[in-house]
Structure 1
Amino acid sequence: MPGPLRLSLVTLGVEDLGRSTAFYEALGLKRSAASTDDVSFFDVGGAILSLYGRAALASDAGLDEAGEGFRPQALAWNLPSSAAVDKAIVRMVAAGGRLVKPAEKTGWGGYVGYVADPDGHLWEIACNPGFPLDADGRARLPK
């Protein structure tokens, strides 16, 4: 067995690497020295965020380049409070993101909004009382 499944790296296929790199740097991420002209890497607290050309990513996977529109996934940024969610949404929009859905209270007791990055990748910005944050701000599943 190779060991337990762990999410170690998320690669987003992007149209313009420079624009997308600038967006994530405007959010306070620092581009790793492992980055090249073709890919940007960022430490996102226990995992790695990778930005790679969309066509190159499709080619690497042996697929035709994906079409435009909804992507059936969302990245999530869990925060400790509704106020922190509101501030994060403002920060992401100021950095060049697009507000998709303003934050609101949910039926399950959370507070959630959505922002798309410059390539339309959805970010769910949430305060989820069911997934407590540890001292490092990482969401933890209940036991």
Structure 2
Amino acid sequence: MDQSVHFITIATANLDAAREFYNRGAGWMPLLDVPGEILFYQVAPGTVLGLFDADKFAQDAGLPAPAEVSGVTLAHNVGSRAEVEHVVARLAEHGGTVLKEPQEGAFGGVFHALVADPNGAIWEIAHNPVWRVDDDGRVSFASPDDA
């Protein structure tokens, strides 16, 4: 199998709240929106984030009950500390719950915050001046000593 992920799908108890959070809070446009069923967002070249109605997710997966998101963080890197603060405020205004206010991280020289979407998926909004995401989506890591 090649080293790639094309779809990340999250069971979502409230699609309407998710739509508000992602469309208005994050400013994203859905790739596909099937009311009462699923939302798809193009999040990177070749990668789509799906928010699937939790009951339909369970039915599709053959589970007895909807799955819950646990132990997973999605991350969005931005260009400055001020942008971290701006994005966090906007997400909170549109249904997000701030779990960790913007602050210095304990690891790796990052300035970040954590925001849960209305269904519990945790987003890290971060600025790390020595990490880079190129226009083609390639990520480059460096240590703070390399800055």
In the superposition, the TM-score normalised over structure 1's length comes to 0.84
Separation in 2 of the partners of 1:43 and 1:49? 6
Residue 9 of structure 2 contacts residue 52 of structure 2 at CA under 8 Å; is this kept in 1? yes
TM-superposed CA distance for 1:133, in Å, is 2.3
1:41–1:49 contact (8 Å) kept in structure 2: yes
1:97 pairs with 2:132: no
Aligned length: 138
The equivalent residue for 2:62 is: 62
Q: Secondary structure at the match of 2:23?
A: helix
Task: State the alpha-carbon separation in 2 of the partners of residues 36 and 6 from structure 1.
Answer: 26
4+ runs deviating over 6 angstroms: none
- Structure 1: 5+ residue runs without aligned partners? none
Q: Deviations over 1:9-60 (max 9, x none)?
A: 111111121221122110211122x432311111223221111111221222
3-state DSSP class of the match of 1:44? Answer: strand
Aligned residue in 2 for 1:128: 128
1:1-143 → structure 2 map (5 Å cutoff): 2=1, 4-26=2-24, 27-32=26-31, 34-37=32-35, 38-46=37-45, 47-66=47-66, 71-107=70-106, 108-135=108-135, 138=137, 140-142=139-141
Pair 63,130 (structure 1): closer, same or farther in 2 beyond 3 Å? farther
**Aligned-pair identity (%):** 28
The normalised TM-score by structure 2 is 0.82
Cα RMSD after superposing both structures: 2.2
